[in-house]
Structure 1
Amino acid sequence: MNLDDALGVDRAPHGSSDDPELVDFSANTNPRVPEGVEGIYRDAFAESRSYPSEPPADYRDAAAAYVDCQPDEVIPTPGGLAAIRSAVDLAVSPGDSVLVPFPSFGEYAREVRLQGGEPAFVPHDAVLDVGRDDLAEHALAIVCNPNNPTGETYDPAALDGFAARCRDAGTLLLVDEAFLGFTGRPSLAGTRGVVVARSLTKLFGLPGLRAGFAVATDEYGEALTAARRPWNVSGPALATGAYCMRQTDFVAQTRERVRTERSRFHDALSAQFDVHPSDAPFLLFDVRDRDVDWLLEHARERGLALRDARTFRGLDSHIRIAVRLPEENDRLIEVLGDV
C-alpha cells in the first residue's frame, strides 16, 4: 500500500445502527452471546497488564478444532477483515488483477485497490465457473461463502474443484467464511493454495471484540505467520474468542434458530417481495415496484433499521434484513406487511 493508492480509495458502506431506539436488522450479528462470556472477558482483562502469550497457543488450538485444521495453520487476526487484508497484501502487487464476485462484500474491491490492484468483477453465481486459463490472469481469486448479501452457500464439490483450478493456475484463492459457522457446512480451512478468513463477530454476537483468524498452509501459511505482528490480538479477545469457539451447544442452538426463523421470514415476505434463497443469517429481497427510500424510512419510523442493499454492486432495488429473535422478526413482518 502506498500514499497515492490509499488516498484514492473510498470507504465501503456497511450496515449497523448505533441508535439504541432501533432494532438493528441492518447488521448480521447474532443478537445472543454464549452464556458466561462476560466473565471470561473480565477475567482476561485482569491479566492485561502483561502481553498476551506469543504465539497464542490456546486460541490457535480452539480455532483449529472449530474449523478442522492444524493449529500451526491458524494465524490470529483482529477480526475477519484483518485476515482478508493480510491475504490481499500477500498476493497483490500494483497493477495486478483480482477476481472479485458481485454483488458481494464491498471491502474486497477496496482492499485490492489499496494494494494498487484492479478488481475484475464476475457475477457471484458464476465465479466457480471460471476456467484455469482465465484464472492465470489473476493474482488472487476471492469467494464469499455464504455470499453476502445474497446468502447462498456454494456446492462443496464445486468449491473444491475451483480451488484445484486456482492451484493449477498459480492463483491464490481467498475464501471469506464469515457466515459459514451458521450453516454447518465444511470449511476449506487447511486446503493447499487457499487462505480462509474467519470472523467471530457474526456467530457469537461480539462485533466490538475484534477477533478472527486466517488459515493457510505451505508457503502461504509460513508467510502470513511471519508477517503477523506480535500481540496483534488483545489478551481479552484471545481468551473470549477461544471460549466462544468451544461453545458447541450455543452454535447448534443458533443454527437451528436461524434456520427456523429464516424459513418463516422467507414465507412471510415472499407474497410481497422477491426474496432470495439464503443459507445465511440474513435475507436479501427485491422490493419490486416499491420505493426503497420510502421503505427504509417507513421501517425506521417504526423502530427498525434495515440495510439499504443498493450499495452492493449490481443491486438497485434491494433491501437486506438480518434474522434476529422471533419476537423481533414478528415485528418486522408486521411492519412490512402493511406496505
Structure 2
Amino acid sequence: MSRQTKFIPVREHLLKVQPCKHGGLVKKTSQQYGIPESQLLDASASLNPYGTPFDHPYTGLDMDNILHTALKRMGQYPDNRYLEFRDAAARFIGKGMTAENIIPGNGSSEIIRLVAETVIEKEDIVLIPSPTFSEYEQQCSIFGAEVRYIEQEMLPDVPVEILKGARLLFVCNPNNPTGRLFCREELEALIDKCRDNNVVLFVDEAFIELADPSQTIVDLVEANDHLFIQRSLTKAFAIPGIRMGFGVASVKIATLLNNARLSWNLGCVAEEVSTVLMNMEGGCYSRYLVESREMISREREFLMQKLERRGFKPLESTVNFIYVDISDLSMDSTELTERMSAHGVLIRDCSSFQDIGKHHIRIAVRTREENERIMDCIRQVIQEWGREQAILYLERNLAKAREKGPLGSNRECNYYPCHFEGQDCTFCFCPFYPCQDERTDGKWITGSSGNDVWSCLECRLVHESNVIEKMLSVLTAEGCTEEGLKKAWSKVMEPILCSSR
C-alpha cells in the first residue's frame, strides 16, 4: 500500500463526522419514485404554510422588482459590512437592538459553524439536549468538540454539576422536533447560571416568529457576553432556497464574530430579499406574520385532532410542526415515511434524531387542503399495509394450520378477545376484508378522516371453529390467491349467510 493511500491529510477526528439528515428532499423523492416535483406535498420541511409575503398582495412586495434591483449589483462584490441588512434585522427584532448587535449569516448552518469555530477548542465539552436539531453536533464535531447529550427534560433547570466544565450549551427555542417553547422567565435563570459557570449559551430562535416572538431573549445579549441568539428568516418567510439568517450578540461579541465570519457570506440576491422582507411594517408583528401565526394555530389544532382520532399521540406544539408518537402503530417511522413518500407526501422520519428509536415522526402544519391530503395519505398507507399484513398472516397461519389444524385462541395477544371469548384466531386478519356484506353484522362507520369505513367488529364468522375448518379445507386446496378466496367465500361464507336470513 502506498504512502498516499495510507495518509489522508485532514484532522483525524473528521473521519468520524457524518452529514446531517434533513427534511425537504423533494428532488430526491421525485427521482426515487418517479413523481413530478409539482405533485409532491412536502410536510417534512417546517416552512410557513401561509406562503411567502409575495403571495399576498397587501404586502405590496414584488419579487421581480426586488430581483431586478439585486441583480444590478451582480457585477460587484457585496459590501461586507452589510449595513442595510443589519439595520433591517435590528428593526425587525426590536428590543433596543442596533446594527452593531447583528451578525449576517447564510442560513442557520453557517451561523452555527461560525460560533463553533470561534468558541470551541479541541475536546471542549458541548451540551446538546436531545432530541433536537442535528446541525449542532455536526458543526461542533468538525472542531473536535466532545458532544454530550442531556435530556430535554433537564431544561431549563440544568444542574450546575452538568454545566461545570462545559464550553457551550445549545437550546432550540421553540425546539425542533418537539415544538416546545420556553418563555423568557424560564430561560433567565439558565442564562445567569451559564454565565456564572463560563458556559456560552446558544439559543436558536429559528422558529420563534411562527410561535410567539414576545418570548425572545434578544434584548438580554448586551448585558451578557455568554449569550448568543440565532434567527433564521427562511422558515418565517417560506423561502428556504434563499439562504438568509443572522445572529444576535453583545456589541463586543458581534464585532468579533463579524471579523471572523466568511467575507461576502451573503450574495446580492439574499441580501436584497431579506432586507426588504425584514423592513415590512411591524417587523415580527407585521400583518403577514400575525396572520401566519393565526393560521398555524388554527391548522395545527385541526391536524392534532385528526392525528389523535387516528390513534397517534401528537405532542402539544407551539409552532408550525407536530412531533407525533406512533408507537401504537405496528409500522415503524421509517416504513411509514417511505410508504407515504411513494404516494407523494413527505413527512419527517425522526429516527435520524438522537437515539429516539423509530416511533416518532414530525409533520409540518400546512394549509387545510394539504392537511387533509396528509391524513388521507396516512389512512391509505395504513390500509395498504394492513392488507399486506393480512396476506402475510394468512399465508403463515395457513401453513401452520395445514400441519396442526385450527390454531385456536391466541390469549397472548394484547387485543384478545377482539370479538368474543373463546374465539379462534387462525384468521387474525379477515381474508375477506372489506366484504361490505351487512349480513355478516359488519357495518359502515365514520372514520377519523370523516369518511365512511367498513367495520367488522360485530362479525364473528371467521373466528368460529366450524367456519374455520371449512375455510381451511378450501384454502389448503386452492391456496391464498384471489381465486382461492373467492371460492372460500362462495363455498363457505355464502351458504352460512343465506341460511341465516
**1:161-196: CA deviations, max 9, x gaps?**
111111111111111111111012332224222111
Asked if residue 13 in structure 1 is aligned to residue 51 in structure 2, the reply is: no
Greater mean alpha carbon deviation, residues 100-109 or residues 221-230: 221-230
Quote the residue 1:199 is aligned against: 232
Is this contact kept in 1: 2:163–2:199, CA < 8 A?
yes
| Distance in 2 separating the partners of 1:330 and 1:217 | 45
Larger Rg: 2
**1:221-274: CA deviations, max 9, x gaps?**
222021123321111111100111233221111111111111111111112101
Quote the residue 2:186 is aligned against: 158
Asked if residue 4 in structure 1 is aligned to residue 16 in structure 2, the reply is: no
1:102 corresponds, among 112, 130, 133, to: 130
Amino acid at match of 2:325: D
Q: How does 1:42-191 map to 2 (within 5 A)?
A: 42-68=68-94, 69-185=97-213, 186-190=215-219, 191=221
Q: TM-score, normalised by structure 2?
A: 0.65
Is this contact kept in 2: 1:41–1:237, CA < 8 A?
no
Is this contact kept in 2: 1:131–1:165, CA < 8 A?
no
**1:271-320: CA deviations, max 9, x gaps?**
21010111121011111232124422342233211111111113221111
Asked if residue 279 in structure 1 is aligned to residue 318 in structure 2, the reply is: yes
TM-align CA RMSD: 1.6
Is this contact kept in 2: 1:25–1:323, CA < 8 A?
yes
Quote the residue 2:269 is aligned against: 236
Is this contact kept in 1: 2:231–2:247, CA < 8 A?
yes
SS at 1:319 equivalent: strand
Is this contact kept in 2: 1:95–1:118, CA < 8 A?
yes
| Distance in 2 separating the partners of 1:130 and 1:200 | 29
Amino acid at match of 1:230: S
| Distance in 1 separating the partners of 2:139 and 2:74 | 31
Q: CA deviation at 1:37?
A: 5.0
Quote the residue 1:324 is aligned against: 366
SS at 2:121 equivalent: coil
Greater mean alpha carbon deviation, residues 267-276 or residues 144-153: 267-276
Select the structure with the greater relative contact order (CA < 8 A; seq sep ≥ 6): 1
| Distance in 1 separating the partners of 2:252 and 2:162 | 23
Q: CA deviation at 1:133?
A: 4.4
Quote the residue 1:335 is aligned against: 377
Quote the residue 1:313 is aligned against: 354
Asked if residue 33 in structure 1 is aligned to residue 74 in structure 2, the reply is: no
1:267 corresponds, among 305, 329, 342, to: 305
**Segments ≥4 residues shifted beyond 4 Å:** none
SS at 1:128 equivalent: coil
SS at 1:196 equivalent: strand
Quote the residue 2:246 is aligned against: 213
Count the aligned residue pairs: 338
Greater mean alpha carbon deviation, residues 244-253 or residues 90-99: 244-253
Amino acid at match of 2:279: R
Is this contact kept in 1: 2:48–2:236, CA < 8 A?
yes
SS at 2:110 equivalent: helix
Q: CA deviation at 1:64?
A: 0.8
Identity, in percent, stands at 31
Q: CA deviation at 1:30?
A: 2.4
**1:4-47: CA deviations, max 9, x gaps?**
23332001111112231310111112241112352213321222
Q: CA deviation at 1:116?
A: 0.3
Asked if residue 24 in structure 1 is aligned to residue 42 in structure 2, the reply is: yes
Q: CA deviation at 1:56?
A: 1.1
Is this contact kept in 2: 1:281–1:323, CA < 8 A?
yes
Q: Which runs of 5+ in 2 are unaligned?
A: 1-9, 31-36, 55-60, 281-285, 383-501
Amino acid at match of 1:88: A
Asked if residue 253 in structure 1 is aligned to residue 261 in structure 2, the reply is: no
| Distance in 2 separating the partners of 1:84 and 1:37 | 31
Q: Which runs of 5+ in 1 are unaligned?
A: none
Greater mean alpha carbon deviation, residues 140-149 or residues 311-320: 311-320
| Distance in 2 separating the partners of 1:178 and 1:160 | 19
SS at 2:153 equivalent: coil
Amino acid at match of 1:42: H
